[in-house]
Structure 1
Amino acid sequence: MIGHLKGRIISKNPPEVLIEVEGIGYEVLCPMSTFYELDNLSEDVLIYTHLSIKEDAHTLFGFITKDEKSVFRELIRVNGVGPKVALAILSNLSVHSLVECISSEDADLLAKTPGIGKKTALKLIVELQDRLSKLELAGNMNKSPDLKQGSNPNSKQAIEALQSLGFKAKEANRMVSKIEDQNLTTEQIIRLALQNK
């Protein structure tokens, strides 16, 4: 398996980059986020790679960060999402945006990616929610913001009540964390959270 390449960029033709390493040219397919980061053609670059082997082709996919590579690998584990679709998703959404999108269950934003319909977007959300939260991303962006210390003690009860109404824990937490007033009753917090949803 080829884990990374360090070398000089010879040419760029979206989404493909040709990288020369010790006299050998590697054709690497990259998401547009990585492609734009590789603007300087003269100095050596380090690209994290994933090698996809099929009976008719060996294809290298390259990423500027380990986070992008990790998320790409999680995406291609989802049934019906191949490497090309995963590249399209990472070209359309940054790693941070994708993690946010999955945790907030925003299927509409995911469905804006070419090649992703609403059905596939929902499948991605269901399959990736747990997996992305367990991923060790460099930015720790996968951790959902917990309630601030010193916040209203009724907030915890309000979150539990929202969960019993059918909201997911992260969504209930997000709804309640938007409320600034620290002196509200549990009932007032729930009412405000539902209005601001």
Structure 2
Amino acid sequence: MIAYIQGSITYKSPTQLIVDVGGIGYELQISLQTYDSLKDIAASCKIFTYLHITQDAHTLYGFSTIEEKQCFLQLLSVNGIGPRVAITILSALTPEALQQAIMTHDTITLQAVKGIGQKAAQRIILELQGKVGKVGNMLSLQPSGQEAIYQEALAALSKLGIHKSTAEKTVAAILKEHQGEITVESLIKLALKG
């Protein structure tokens, strides 16, 4: 998995970015929030990424902050929300505004996003309210600095047939208990035991 890329911007539009890294141009789908935070062409940048793989394509999504990426990943965990809808939500709402809408059960704010109806807004709130409300941020399940370990463990558990939501809760609890001082292998073993 590609956690981030660092290089110079060769092309930038409100929905797309091309970053040159060592002579290779990486095309990323981005939100308007990321677009607004980026400098002009030829400027150096560091973009956090998520690689979405389907039968037809490998699509790289880019985020200017780790918080925006975490919001994106949380949105993907909601039934019926795919990467295109998640990036549309993050184009319309900052991570803080999204968090606030979820915590206050504000379906109207979510419905203002193109493609989000009442049922989708309610589903987002229902499925993410527990994840946001406990600690007060979208990163509550993932201690900072441990994203790579978290993601690698989730991927491994998913390949072993563990349901995504179960794996997320188990891995987050183990990381919290060990305060991030754990290897991926140990984390996976503990998650399988738990």
What TM-score comes out, normalization by structure 2 length?
Answer: 0.68
Superposed displacement of residue 41, structure 1:
2.0
How far apart in 1 are the matches of 2:80 and 2:139? 28
* Count of residue pairs brought into register by the alignment: 140
- 3-state SS, counterpart of residue 86 of structure 1: helix
- 3-state SS, counterpart of residue 41 of structure 2: coil
More displaced, 67-76 or 41-50?
41-50
State the identity as a percent: 39
How far apart in 1 are the matches of 2:25 and 2:5? 11
Superposed displacement of residue 135, structure 1:
6.7
- Residue of structure 1 equivalent to 2:131: 131
Amino acid at match of 1:23: G
How well do the aligned residues superpose, as a CA RMSD in angstroms?
1.9
What TM-score comes out, normalization by structure 1 length?
Answer: 0.67
- Unaligned ranges ≥5, structure 2: 141-194
Superposed displacement of residue 110, structure 1:
0.4
How far apart in 1 are the matches of 2:137 and 2:117? 27
Amino acid at match of 1:14: P
Contact 1:47–1:62, Cα closer than 8 Å, also in 2: yes
Amino acid at match of 2:123: K
Superposed displacement of residue 45, structure 1:
0.1
- 3-state SS, counterpart of residue 75 of structure 2: helix
Contact 2:6–2:44, Cα closer than 8 Å, also in 1: yes
- Residue of structure 1 equivalent to 2:28: 28
Contact 2:71–2:138, Cα closer than 8 Å, also in 1: no
- Which structure has the larger Rg? 1
Amino acid at match of 1:27: E
Amino acid at match of 1:118: Q
- Unaligned ranges ≥5, structure 1: 141-197
- Residue of structure 2 equivalent to 1:47: 47
Amino acid at match of 1:26: Y
1:139–1:83 Cα change, 3 Å: closer
How far apart in 2 are the matches of 1:136 and 1:49? 24
1:119–1:3 Cα change, 3 Å: same
- 3-state SS, counterpart of residue 123 of structure 1: helix
How far apart in 2 are the matches of 1:94 and 1:139? 14
Superposed, which structure 2 residues align to 1:136-151 within 5 Å?
Answer: none
Amino acid at match of 2:25: G
